[in-house]
Amino acid sequence: MEFHLNRQLRFHLAPEHKSLYRWAINEIYEQGQVVGHDQIPWGWNLYFTARELLLADQLGVISATEFEGRVQQPAEITQQRTIRAKLRPGAPRDDDNWQRQTTYRMFGTDRVISDFQLDVRPLKSEDDVEHCRAWGTVSYTSENDFRQETQEDCVQFYLMVKPTTFEHYAQRITSSNAHEVIFGAGLVTGFYSEWSPSISTRSVKVLTSGDEQKLELSEGLTVPRLGSVGEARLYINSVTTPQITSQQRARDMVLEDEKPALITARPAVAETFASGIDPDTLKLLLSLKSSARWIIGLLVALLAATLLKR
């Protein structure tokens, strides 16, 4: 298996700004030249928006059997339900604000990560504790059945919720009542960025839990790698468009046509609605009124032109 890494990593125990942070991770070239700035754990919340949503049901049936007298397996039936969301970085409010848009890259690379996924799964019992974890891998190429296959950089979140909560989410999806899904993650071990007084960052480096991103550490020292998620927030929003009635539509047309005479016309409009006249009839009357004004104006202009010629 060949991992696609461009640079090595260095654990830096004596950073330049030691009053702000005790240690950092640097990317370095083979000659030892440092690339970029010190990277330290990032704990503030980061948000992702679902671009695809899937409710998957999986059933596994294993029969008790013996294969050629060598392999024995017991009977087993497994069921698994998963809400799977393909994510893109950022919340909808960040789309038009480049300063709030965050780019993710694996440590040791310049590639922008585009493969983010969230799996929401039910716990076995209502008594189990809800939690969230993160996993990821650096892009690699491997041989599978005499074929070369490449896995892209990816980050995946697993959110485990109580069974009743999961069924509520599933019902929202099956009833097409989940128009906007946003996932927030904070205190994610393995997410790094530059030191900043701000609570937002435009660049995140990811350190996976595997051994592909090698980091030499003194005995007894460890650094945070992808794993636990300290804070997880899931927003499932419904977006509705208010229904406009025929009377509201007619009222809007009245206000648009009668802007110069809005104050004087309002009692008449209110009285007309109170009398129960059909809105379409009202629309026709108002249209005739506007046409009459236009014709009168044209006649006045023709009369003035005739008098000037004399």
Q: Taking residues 167-181, what's their average pLDDT?
A: 93
Q: SS3 letters for 168-194?
A: HHHHHHHCCCCCEEEEEEEEECCEEEC
User: Which pTM does this prediction carry?
Assistant: 0.73
| pLDDT band with cut points at 50, 70 and 90 for residue 59 | confident
pLDDT at 130: 97
pLDDT at 256 over 60: no
pLDDT in tens, 158-171: 999 999 999 999 99
210-248 in b/e form (b: 16+ CB < 10 A) is eebbebeeeeeeebbbbeebeebebebeeeeeeeeeeee
pLDDT at 86 over 80: yes
pLDDT at 158: 98
Higher pLDDT, 248 or 104: 104
Cα separation, 118 vs 161, whole angstroms: 13
pLDDT at 100 over 60: yes
pLDDT at 264: 38
Cα separation, 133 vs 283, whole angstroms: 60
Q: Are 245 and 230 in contact (CB under 8 A)?
A: no
pLDDT in tens, 14-47: 887 888 999 999 999 877 789 889 999 999 999 9
Beta bridge pairs of residue 121: 160
